[in-house]
Amino acid sequence: MRSAKDFFRPLAVGAPAPPREVPFRPSRMIHFFDPGNEKMAAKVPALAPQVDVLLGNLEDAVAADRKEAARAGLVSVARATDFGATQLWTRVNSLDSPWALDDLVTLVTEIGDKLDVVMVPKVEGAHDIHYVDRLLAQLEARAGLRRPILVHAILETAAGVAAVEEIAAASPRMQGISLGPADLAASRRMKTTRVGGGHPGYLVREDPQGDAPRVTYQQDLWHYTIARMVDACAAHGILPYYGPFGDIQDVTACEDQFRNAFLLGCVGAWSLHPVQIDIAKRVFSPAPEDVAWARQVIEAMGDGTGAVMIDGKMQDDATFKQCQVVVGLADALAERDPQLAASYAAADKAARR
């Protein structure tokens, strides 16, 4: 085990120092694109201002004979695009594939100055993160990078879920963790072919009431995993994300699933199609009236100690902390989204009348 004194020292001579705190930047949606698809790559400059994170996908959905083209396409897109405040991420191929090493070597040395986060699929334990951590440090030193590239893990196997706490704590590079429901379902031998969302067969039924029909309620297959992931991330100062919702046409269920994740503590989700961008933007931004109420509580609480009554409801130090979370997120999002900032200002003004 490494000494705690060494945890924040670079893992390679000449590499930048690891971060001591994960920088919080808006990441309500991680929007995936195939950099090997010329039509899709051409849309990146126009798409970048609309999303918080653009992710060049090199793994699933990229056929084996297109892996190198996708990697080269991402290098080309990154060099040609001014992303502004939008983050550029990539999902590399899994560590047991023949492409992962070339993905990391090429991307870090050629566009490392543009790359914010490397998403690693099918992470099963701290050992996977340690491998990527050391390799990134060596490549950063070779490329002369001045800031470290962060690492994001995907929970896609039963082993990964069982080790989620050690994964979250594996490196100061850890930026966050996403749920990968499709591969996780296969790993667990779950009997569903859906990518995220609920299942009509996973339900509870009310007790008998004579001969009346018994009402059923569909349950969330992913509640346990998301909650456990959120706890692991919160305990180690990194960010949890819901992953993909595969039914592009069912925007209502997508919004419900995203909102459940948001309420549980996730900061964002993946968007696989432009229609999901606005859903994620809406769901993972606190409602203006909630932000106005939170500001009212913070103002009334002063130093955050004691208790006050507002509109007949008791507010104490725990409420104060909850309100700080809401306001802190709203302020960060408002800096990036002028329309949202205007909505927050209007709601705050209305609440003070």
CA distance linking residue 105 with residue 16, whole number of Å: 17
CA distance linking residue 84 with residue 88, whole number of Å: 10
Provide the residue type at 271 as one letter.
Answer: S
Task: Spell out, as residue ranges, where the chain has pLDDT lower than 70.
Answer: 1
The per-residue pLDDT for 291 is: 93
170-203: burial string, b at 16+ Cβ within 10 Å, e else: bbbbbbbbbbbbbbbbebeebebebbbbbbeeee
Classify residue 58 by burial, with Cβ atoms within 10 Å: 0-12, 13-18, 19+: buried
Question: pLDDT tens digit string along 74-132?
Answer: 999 999 999 999 999 999 999 999 999 999 999 999 999 999 999 999 999 999 999 99
The per-residue pLDDT for 23 is: 82
Provide the residue type at 310 as one letter.
Answer: I
The per-residue pLDDT for 301 is: 86
Task: Locate the DSSP E strands across the chain.
Answer: 29-33, 53-57, 87-91, 117-120, 150-155, 174-179, 203-205, 216-218, 239-242, 268-271, 307-310, 313-316
Provide the residue type at 333 as one letter.
Answer: L
The dihedrals phi and psi of 29, each to the nearest 5 degrees, come to -135, 135
324: left (phi over 0), alpha (psi -120 to 50) or beta: alpha
Q: Do residues 126 and 159 touch, judged by C-beta distance below 8 A?
A: no
Name the 3-class secondary structure at 176. Answer: strand
The whole model's pTM is what?
Answer: 0.91
Provide the residue type at 204 as one letter.
Answer: V
| DSSP character at residue 194 | -
315: Cα separation from own chain's centroid: 31
Q: How far is CA 72 from CA 34, 81, 82, 303, in A?
A: 11, 14, 18, 53
